Amino acid sequence: MNGTQSQQAATERTPANSPLLALKGVSKSFGPVEALKDVDFELGAGEVVGLVGDNGAGKSTLIKAISGVQPADEGEAYFEGNRVTLNTPQAAYRLGIATVYQDLALCENLDVVQNLYLGQEVGNHIPGLDLLDEPSMEHRTLELLDSLGVTTIRSVRTEVAQLSGGQRQAVAIARSLLGEPRLVLLDEPTAALGVVQTREILKLVQRLRERGLGVVVISHNLANVFRVADRIVVLRLGRVAAVLDADETNREQVVGAITGAEFGQEDVARTTEEHAL
């Protein structure tokens, strides 16, 4: 069993004709530092990809390249087979790419409904007055949380300051879904959570997959990645070190790819080469 086999398996799983998102030969440099080097990446609809790697491996840079926050220097992006440019957050958003950052970007002083609709409030547009339509927003918030199976938030009029970490993460993910995205990028969604809350969030990620969304999950926690991901993409020093099928690989293999040590440099280098082809 080695990385090459599982990579082939993964390739078979993904419908070759129309991946939701495909990146080819993406590179990004910050001055002399090559943060991403010739990275290929694919994500299908209804697929969860775990993006793992050591600090500085390029996970965040890749996420930022996809979300348009820091566009890549080189490479091509295809969305449902069409060539697209992801050079601004707005461009990515219009394509249906939503990002939930690790800091969640919630206003603690506002309640769940207010946070969900922050910056995209539903209003009654009377000329000269921009009135808020609270009942519609509250109604749609309840519907959305219900459809996601979020049951632990007792009142959507609770200040976010009074919610637990898991509930906040759920609110942030729900907010990203308001724009009806096709693809959701989750940056360390379980980093600050306890066992029970982590389970809730992983269930939520599975709901996203059931909805047919493509999901990218960055995580340091390999156990969580194995519990939720269909495929695992390992980055190392800005390159794709391995693409592994979650069902057919194991923790040791992933750790080996992350560190480039376990199977020896040679093995990882070969995996990288073949992936680049």
Partner 1 sequence: MSGVATGEAAAPAARERGAVAEFLRRMALGEYGTLRVLLGIAVIWTIFQIANDRFLTAINLSNLILQITAVATISIGVVLILLLGEIDLSVAAVSGLAAGVMAVLNVKEGWAPELAILAGLATGAAIGLFNGFMVTTFGIPSFVVTLAGLLAWQGALLAVLGDTGTVNLPDNLITDLTTTFFSQELGWAVAAVVIAAYTATVIRERRLREKAGLETGALGAAVAKTAVVAAAMIAAVAILNEDRGVPLAAVIMLSLMAIFSFITKRTRYGRHIFAVGGNAEAARRAGISTKWVRITVFTLGSTLAAAGGILAASRLLAVNQSSGGSDLLLLAIAGPVIAGTSLFGGRGFVWSALLGALVIGSISNGMDLLALSSDIKFMITGAVLLLAVTIDAATRLRRQTGTT
Q: What residues line the site for partner 1 (CB under 8 A)?
A: 103, 105-110, 114, 118-121, 123, 129-132, 134-136, 138-139, 142, 151-152, 154, 162, 164, 167
DSSP class of residue 111 equals B
Residue 64, CA atoms < 13 Å, CB-side half-sphere:
15
Nearer to partner 1 by C-beta: 32 or 135?
135
Q: How far is the CB of 112 from partner 1 (least distance, A)?
A: 13
CB closer to partner 1 out of 194 and 212? 194
Among residues 21, 153, 5, 156, the alpha carbon closest in space to that of 84 is found at: 21
Non-local CB neighbours of 23 within 8 Å, separated by 6+ positions: 39, 40, 41, 42, 65, 66, 72, 75, 76, 77, 78
| DSSP characters over 226-251 | HHH-SEEEEEETTEEEEEEETTT--H
DSSP string, 3-32: HHHHHHHHHHHS-SS--SEEEEEEEEEETT
Smallest distance from partner 1 to CB 135, Å: 4
Closest separation in Å from C-beta 192 to partner 1: 14
Instruction: State the minimum distance, in angstroms, from the CB of residue 165 to partner 1.
Output: 10
Task: Tell me how far apart the alpha carbons of residues 120 and 92 are, in angstroms, rounded to a whole number.
Answer: 17
Contacts 24+ apart (CB under 8 A), 149-152: 149/203, 149/204, 149/207, 150/174, 150/200, 150/204, 152/200
| Number of separate helices (H) and strands (E) present in the chain | 10, 12
Q: How far is the CB of 235 from partner 1 (least distance, A)?
A: 25
Query: Which one, 69 or 237, has the nearer CB to partner 1?
Result: 69
CB of 171 to partner 1, least distance (A): 12
Q: Which is nearer to partner 1, 46 or 165 (CB)?
A: 165
In the complex, minimum distance from the CB of residue 224 to partner 1, in angstroms, rounded to a whole number: 21
Nearer of residues 105 and 269 to partner 1, judged by Cβ: 105
Q: Helix, strand, or coil here: 215?
A: strand
- Minimum distance between the CB of residue 128 and partner 1, rounded to whole angstroms? 11
Which residues are 76's β-sheet partners?
A: 24
Of 85 and 151, nearer to partner 1 (C-beta) is 151
Whether 23 contacts 75, CB under 8 Å = yes
Q: Which is nearer to partner 1, 164 or 221 (CB)?
A: 164
Residue among 142 and 144 whose Cβ is closer to partner 1: 142
Q: What is the DSSP letter of 135?
A: H
